[in-house]
Chains A and B, each alone.
Chain A
Amino acid sequence: MTARQQFTAALLLGVAFLVLFRQLDPTGYQIGLMMRCMILMIVTIGLNILIGHAGLVSLGQAALYGLGAYVAAWLAVKQGVQFLPAIIAGVVVTGLFGAVLAYPTVRVRGVYLAVITIAFGLVFQNILVEWLPVTGGTQGLIGIPRGNVFGISLTRPIYFWVVAGCLIVAFIIQYNVIHSRYGRAMRATAQSENAAKALGINLAATRTLAFVISATLAGLAGGLYTFLNLFVNYETFTFFHSVSFLLMVILGGTGTLVGPVIGTSILTYIAEILQDLQEWQIFAYGFLLAAVMFVMPQGIVGSFSALWQRFLSKSRAHETQGWPDRSVPLAEILHPGEERGQIALKTEALTLRFGGLTAVDDVSLEVECGRVHALIGPNGAGKSSLLNLISGFYVPTGGRITFFGASIAALPSHVLARQGIARTFQNTELFGQMSVLENVMAGFHAHYRNSLAETLLRLPRFGREEHRFFSQAHQLLKFVGLVDFAEEEARNLPFGHQRRLEIARALALRPKILLLDEPAAGLIHSEIEDLKRLIRLLADHGITIVLVEHHVEMVMTVSDHVTVFDYGRVIASGTAAQVQKNPQVIEAYFGHGSVVPRGRPMTALVEHSGAAE
């Protein structure tokens, strides 16, 4: 089943279950329990997007839930506001707080973020108890009038379907977000920040979006809770509740579609049983959390789908195709390369210092469009630092970088990526837990034009774009010979294939210039031959290539221009033949006074590089 079919099946099953539940003539208590459970599901669906996709842990989700509840309650009790506007206000306020909470994630993750969300939860708790005139203190807000929409009183039977409808909407939002460029961007930022930036993904915006969506859903759930319970009290929104939301998501399976629904159902059911345990109830919660982490950290749905994936992977044929595949119509996918003959990239007196160490020292060079420009030199010569400066990962200490005439020094990486600077990494940085196809699809991120609203509502332009990039991604995978691996998780690929995938993903950015950081490292001889053909093919296509590489034989045969570095400085620059004869280059590679056979410097260099491996 495709993801879409799974989603439809889950949705229909859920609706059928709810209809059946109502037909079975449940007691008032059971209906109330089911409604509370559905409301909690809305919270955990939002939390799942945050944790499972954006990789951000919130230990303050109960406070966001409570914020939605209290805003709606306060408006209804103290201001006489109607159901609908009260709920909407709760959602908006909570969404805004989500955006504020997301701000630190621009800089911090992991435990730092956990501390901030915990602190937020405790501040909220403190305010609820102390700000008596607004929150009613420890007593809370009581006497909330039953909801009323367009003259229809929301009695329990009607309200049941209002809550169910909201849950269905939340479930659809979840699917529509995670199966879109936004969801891919979230997973990308969670799995490799560097690679995400290099593909033009704005980390801050992506994380803020995840936070806002999860906060909005928590706020909606809070509002619904207010009009179900008809009173609100601080005790429902404590740190303990934040932890239990987390437990629900993990129990079901983080990052899975139905995980939060299943986890919430089971935990709500267990909580009912645990009530008989009285004082041991809290202990049992702790025990359960530990047990889930030990027995199935991937959660119920996660564990099953991992088994299923393994089965599928075994049953699929995996034939590695030759690469580069020249039958792929690159012209339809890649940048047209009209700028041939211009200067693509120029650095002037570029300098980078780390403390007292000068990694890049007064480097001025020009890279011509459509050429292969190699940067070589001993380890620590500053080649990779230069790539990192060009791609915006480091900010230069001094000097200028211009890209097709425009100054780009100190622009952030994701902006540079959108201007057409793509790169690969020395230690390949793939999105390990995303499929091979998704990795390439993430590469197209910067080229999508449809808005969030179009994505959420699945308007026609969303479908058109998704379809177009899907087929182009397939073409790129064909280009590097990995079509058969499209559905595999990227981390399971053999090393050589990972390099290929990283290049395919970089090409999805439709770069004007492609920076390759030691692409041949770890490849076997035949793969290096293929890589050389690929580089030439791309250059012929008008893509400028900057190549940092230790494999001298490859550099000498594939490059139009070679610049040699030592101690951060340029010591030679010219064609491959020119630099090989340069005495400084020979000294840098072999040391002073080395005996290099006269007239055979290239062979000597090649042999040297061979010996070094």
Chain B
Amino acid sequence: MGEIVQYLLTGLSLGGIYALVALGFYIMWEATKAANFTHGDVYMVGAVLTVVLVEKGLPVLLAASIAIAAAAVIGALIERLLVRPFNKEPNAIGWMLTTIAAGIMIESMATITYGPLGRPLPSPLAEQPIRFGGAGIYPQEMLLPIVAVAAMFGLEAFYRRTTIGRAMRAVAFNRTAAGLMGINPNRIALIAYALAAAIGALAGILIAPVVQAAPAMGALIGLKAFGVAIVAGIANARGVVIVGLCYGVIEKLIEGYISTGARNAVGFTLMILALLLFPQGIFGRREVVKV
């Protein structure tokens, strides 16, 4: 009994990361029908930068705020420089390659300046695990799924209640028509990428006390989160967060009941199967193609 509770809790924590990073993919996708393919590296930048700033003597909250702001700027730059020029025609793939290039550069830059090894971010929430039943978990880890769900509701409210949010939905629905209504789709794209990057960086900072911040921490998480977003159908925030949390739990269950080694192989295979069963994603809408 304790065993399964343990898997559920750590799975939810891991799933919280996938959900937050995947939310970023969803936000970018809605705005541009493209994304920063290596969004996982933005997540890493959040964590690494915070650790560096804390080591320089800044208080954690200030360091985290600066790191999130920096990540938002990086996100906006990626949109302006690497996505927009390579996403001109429908089904363009140039942005995939340019953002992969950016990811490679960011990660190797981080490795060179920060060093390849992970360093911890001190946090009062990662010192004493809470125990219930036979399971134990740091409060820090429980933050992730909570923040993910909060981000999801926050995003929904943002999309529904604010002018910018409504403009973003308009752009997602029909870019050209939104442009004709006086919405600048390029500005919306910029905001979306900055927002996505900020959320991604936040996820990185939240998990840094538990896993240690390292340059290589983001690449695989990013790819998995993109898979999560795609499997969810990149159609709504709820779907993305639900699939993200579930994927985390599934990975932990695979680790527990099959083997740690099989985690990625089985997880990704499930992902491929899910896409075969639901080509539009589990929560995706089928697009009617007009001939």
Identify the A interface with B (CB < 8 A): 57, 103-104, 107-112, 114-116, 118-120, 122-123, 125-127, 129-130, 194, 239-240, 243, 246-247, 250, 279-280, 282-283, 285-290, 293-294, 297, 354, 384, 388, 393-394, 425
Contacts and interface: CB of A to CB of B under 8 A. Distances in A.
B174 interface: no
Contact of A120 (B94, B98, B272): B272
A290 B102 contact: yes
Contacts of A243: 100, 104
B227 A119 contact: yes
29 contacts: A107-B279, A111-B35, A111-B96, A111-B230, A115-B275, A116-B275, A118-B227, A119-B227, A119-B268, A120-B268, A122-B268, A123-B268, A126-B261, A126-B262, A126-B268, A279-B112, A280-B108, A282-B104, A282-B107, A282-B111, A283-B108, A283-B112, A285-B104, A288-B101, A289-B97, A290-B98, A290-B105, A293-B86, A293-B94
Nearest to A110: B91
Contacts of B264: 122-123, 125-126
B275 A112 contact: yes
Given A120-B272, A283-B109, A286-B101, A115 B227 contact: yes
* A-B interface, 8 closest residue pairs, ranked by CB to CB distance from nearest: A286-B104, A130-B261, A289-B101, A286-B105, A290-B101, A283-B108, A107-B279, A119-B268
Given A115-B227, A116-B272, A126-B265, 8 more contacts: A104-B272, A104-B276, A120-B272, A122-B223, A123-B272, A279-B111, A280-B108, A282-B107
B269 A123 contact: yes
Contact of A293 (B97, B103, B112): B97
B193 interface: no
Nearest to B90: A110
A112 B262 contact: no
Q: Which of A129, A247, A294 has the most CB of B within 10 A?
A: A294
Q: Which of A114, A129, A194 has the most CB of B within 10 A?
A: A114
Contacts of A107: 276, 279
A393 B291 contact: yes
Contacts of A115: 226-227, 230, 271, 275
B151 to A, nearest CB: 23
B181 interface: no
B288 interface: yes
Nearest to B259: A130
B82 interface: yes
Contacts of A286: 100-105, 108
B97 A425 contact: no
A388 B291 contact: yes
Contacts of A289: 97-98, 100-101, 104
A354 B291 CA distance: 14
Contacts of B58: none
Interface string B91-127: 1011011101111110111011000000000000000
Contacts of A114: 93, 96
Q: Which of A108, A126, A287, A394 has the most CB of B within 10 A?
A: A126
B291 A194 contact: yes
A246 B108 contact: no
Given A108-B275, A290-B82, A280 B112 contact: yes
Given A57-B96, A118-B223, A127 B265 contact: yes
B108 A279 contact: yes
Contacts of A118: 223, 227
B152 to A, nearest CB: 22
A132 to B, nearest CB: 9
A109 B279 CA distance: 10
A518 to B, nearest CB: 12
A297 B94 contact: yes
Interface in B129-173: none
A286 B82 CA distance: 13
Interface in B237-280: 259, 261-265, 268-269, 271-272, 275-276, 279
A57 B93 CA distance: 8
Contacts of B100: 243, 286, 289
A283 B105 contact: yes
Contacts of A122: 220, 223, 264, 268
B97 A250 contact: yes
A240 B103 CA distance: 11
A288 B105 CA distance: 10
Nearest to A194: B291
Nearest to A109: B91
Nearest to B98: A293
A240 B268 CA distance: 18
A506 to B, nearest CB: 15
Contacts of B94: 293, 297
Nearest to A190: B91
Contact of B276 (A103, A111, A247): A103
A247 B101 CA distance: 10
Contacts of B112: 279-280, 283
Nearest to B281: A112
Contacts of A111: 35, 96, 230
B272 A282 contact: no
A413 to B, nearest CB: 9
A288 B109 CA distance: 15
Contacts of B97: 246-247, 250, 289, 293
B230 A130 contact: no
A591 to B, nearest CB: 27
A251 B94 CA distance: 13
B82 A282 contact: no
Nearest to A198: B291
Given A119-B272, A126-B261, A286-B103, A112 B279 contact: yes
A435 B259 CA distance: 55
Nearest to A286: B104
A167 B230 CA distance: 37
